[in-house]
Chains A and B, each alone.
Chain A
């Protein structure tokens, strides 16, 4: 049994401690908003916040999350609310297939928590571990800058 907090709720995971956190979240916990893209820590689709830091859940074993705080895309904002980054992505229509977006929004939320006034360069740097194949990068950057304005207000 592994104890951890997921989206603010204390949980006990029964999967083998060596199981990738991604599989625990998507499988055992039914939180499918976190995506599998590569399993190689190379695309960012599976990013979650671990104690506030974006990490690749595909290569993070459950045991590493023991006693720690995990936040997934479903928990970026309380209940049915949207995090300002999520709202800004919708406002800017910064998505095509949307498969990359969960991980991107997790990276962006971590950035804004750390630095509520990032400039464009900081946003780009914070998202550089996330891949998007549909090419919505510039819309995403615009959206995150816009969300920063909201967060700062």
Chain B
């Protein structure tokens, strides 16, 4: 039996310390970083710490794993809980040995005073004071693991091909489920021919699914079901060639980010408009979930959701259950870059399992469903203008950005927000996407506020309150677009003034950490050579600082050869983990910048596979060099989203520097370059 010392920590007789963090592994390595923090706070050996996946039945509710906040938010309470466990065990050792707790030390999981030693397993059994009431151990525990590049704890399983992903989950008696999605977002089921007896169809309104004894059987059944369904379809989507008009047409919520008083000063006015298209998460694995209804009416769900507690509430609402009767447990999926189909497929599994006679049902989406039905990152468009003085420096700045909202997660805005809900007989429609509040770093307006010391700035967001294309959180939300626009425009201003783009930025920038990061990236990249482009931001205005320098090859096609990034995340828990996140973010941002665009006609999403939604390949991937600017005494902030905007801007600026073509509408494809040449 494990001794449960706190909600988060339990210790087994074998000395294994189980830690439930409440944050989930999304492929970003967070469980490894949290294990490092826990092991140090416990004074334990990393090998004896076992991270347990988040779950609603027996884990802390730490909300979402999102927004590059996991280390910042989950680190301190975990450290504190572990330090209390250490103190309680040290106190028990002291009592046993008749010494004062101050005389007990702990290292690598061994408590010691003189010649006397004891382990966590020995002491945990005897700890009887509630650990919550034990003061946390004073003084910082020795830092053995924090700050070092501990290898990822999950990688050995994945490299050996051992079952670890939710796709590999096999519950006893499990059936395989498939959902027949409508052919387009506005479609409704008109008619369903009576299914043959051997086809196990589940229907609720326009929600249709089938069950099979194996993946292959389920796929075959889905093919047969497809032929039985007839749909009423409608055109509900905007014109993909007129996104600028669509985004500006309203109705909007106006978001005042920076409000300037009085009239702008006189001087030369320079202006430009930038845009990005809708972007897909395009995870390498389709979304997947499993569910089981028990005889007592309770529901168990296995999911790769970013927030098991939010999903539980949403499921309970759609299914008419008490939340206490729903247990949601995290199992790792493929890389997650925001609100994808993970929550939606969990409802699919629950709906199919309701009709499976008590057998668990495992559901996996198709590639097409993944690319067409998961929420997208919204298209955006921004107008920037500046009044400049004789030297070309900014006197006044104005920025307006138009976008759909960037968050429609489960329970957001009081709605379950799950895809299948909208197709049920008694529908739970999903509402328009909204935006996180300013204290959570905005959504459409994330990073819209410039970091530069402009004497006057007016910054306004315009969020569409009707969203015909389902949108939600995608890595860095509006920051990718806003940083691309601001940093492209800074380049345009520098060039108009005949000034060096790096010096021009520094002349408008007093924040010392920002200056250092910019200089480090520029130095490492050999700034001063022709053809380089630079981009910079501090994520959300209070997160990681990141500067990127791009080196490209361009004629009509752009190839990024090398990206050099400098990043300051405060205290670094795992240096290689941060590098890996920055490298991955930079490569993904390169893909968004050069290739990606969700395609649609007036009726349906038409980018349905890897040909119609191409992403960056090995032969197109730049070398990425990462400089860590260390500030060990500053609290850690996340690194997962910091590179997105700076990289886009650096590439666009390198294109302008190399071939004197300014592309303001992403992606920077051959067509875009030809279009920009006019």
Q: Please list the residues of chain A having a beta carbon within 8 angstroms of any beta carbon in chain B.
A: 15-16, 19-20, 23, 26-28, 31-40, 42-43, 45, 72-74, 82, 86, 89-90, 93, 95-102, 105, 124-125, 127-128, 130-141
Top 6 A-B residue pairs of the complex, sorted by shortest distance between their CB atoms? A33-B161, A97-B27, A135-B587, A98-B158, A135-B584, A73-B161
Chain B residue, CB-CB nearest to A100: B284
Complex contacts, B333 vs chain A, CB 8 Å? 97, 99
Chain B residue, CB-CB nearest to A16: B216
CB contact under 8 A between A23 and B215, given known A93-B580, A138-B623: yes
Binary interface encoding of chain B residues 185-202 relative to chain A, with 1 for a CB under 8 A from any of its CBs, else 0: 000000000000000000
- Can you list 19 A-B contacts with CB-CB less than 8 angstroms, sorted by A residue number? A23-B215, A23-B216, A26-B168, A27-B216, A35-B165, A36-B167, A37-B286, A38-B609, A74-B160, A98-B159, A99-B158, A99-B333, A101-B159, A124-B619, A131-B615, A133-B337, A135-B588, A137-B618, A139-B583
A95 adjacent to B585 (CB under 8 Å): no
A36 adjacent to B285 (CB under 8 Å): yes
A35 adjacent to B167 (CB under 8 Å): yes
A138 adjacent to B367 (CB under 8 Å): no
Complex contacts, B167 vs chain A, CB 8 Å? 32, 35-36
Bound CA span A57–B431, Å: 40
Complex contacts, A127 vs chain B, CB 8 Å? 618
B285 adjacent to A35 (CB under 8 Å): yes
CB contact under 8 A between A135 and B585, given known A72-B161, A97-B335, A124-B619: yes
| Number of chain B residues close to chain A: CB under 8 A | 59
Give 12 new A-B contacts, CB below 8 A, not counting A33-B162, A42-B609. A23-B214, A33-B161, A73-B160, A89-B155, A93-B152, A93-B155, A93-B576, A95-B152, A95-B158, A96-B27, A98-B154, A136-B584
A96 adjacent to B28 (CB under 8 Å): yes
Bound CA span A99–B219, Å: 22
B476: min CB distance to chain A, Å: 14
Which secondary structure dominates chain B's binding surface? loop
Max chain B CB contacts within 10 Å: which of A89, A99, A105, A127? Answer: A99
Complex contacts, B159 vs chain A, CB 8 Å? 82, 86, 89-90, 95, 98, 101, 105
CB contact under 8 A between A15 and B216, given known A39-B367, A135-B586: yes
Bound CA span A86–B161, Å: 10
Complex contacts, B285 vs chain A, CB 8 Å? 35-37, 45, 99
Verify if B282 is at the interface (C-beta below 8 Å from A). yes
Bound CA span A33–B130, Å: 44
Verify if B133 is at the interface (C-beta below 8 Å from A). no
A37: min CB distance to chain B, Å: 5
Verify if B611 is at the interface (C-beta below 8 Å from A). yes
Bound CA span A22–B633, Å: 50
Among A16, A74, A97, which residue has its beta carbon within 8 angstroms of that of B161?
A74
Bound CA span A132–B284, Å: 7
Complex contacts, A28 vs chain B, CB 8 Å? 214
Complex contacts, A35 vs chain B, CB 8 Å? 165, 167, 285
Complex contacts, B284 vs chain A, CB 8 Å? 37, 43, 45, 97, 99-100, 131-134
Bound CA span A74–B164, Å: 13
Among B155, B367, B611, which residue has its beta carbon within 8 angstroms of that of A98?
B155
B161 adjacent to A102 (CB under 8 Å): yes
Bound CA span A73–B160, Å: 7
Bound CA span A101–B368, Å: 22
B92: min CB distance to chain A, Å: 38
Among A36, A124, A134, which residue has its beta carbon within 8 angstroms of that of B27?
A134
Bound CA span A43–B624, Å: 23
Chain A residue, CB-CB nearest to B155: A95
Bound CA span A37–B370, Å: 10
Verify if B77 is at the interface (C-beta below 8 Å from A). no
A134 adjacent to B588 (CB under 8 Å): yes
Bound CA span A36–B286, Å: 8
B588: min CB distance to chain A, Å: 5
B367 adjacent to A38 (CB under 8 Å): yes
Bound CA span A98–B29, Å: 11
Verify if B454 is at the interface (C-beta below 8 Å from A). no
B580 adjacent to A133 (CB under 8 Å): no
Verify if B68 is at the interface (C-beta below 8 Å from A). no
B28 adjacent to A37 (CB under 8 Å): no
Bound CA span A138–B616, Å: 12
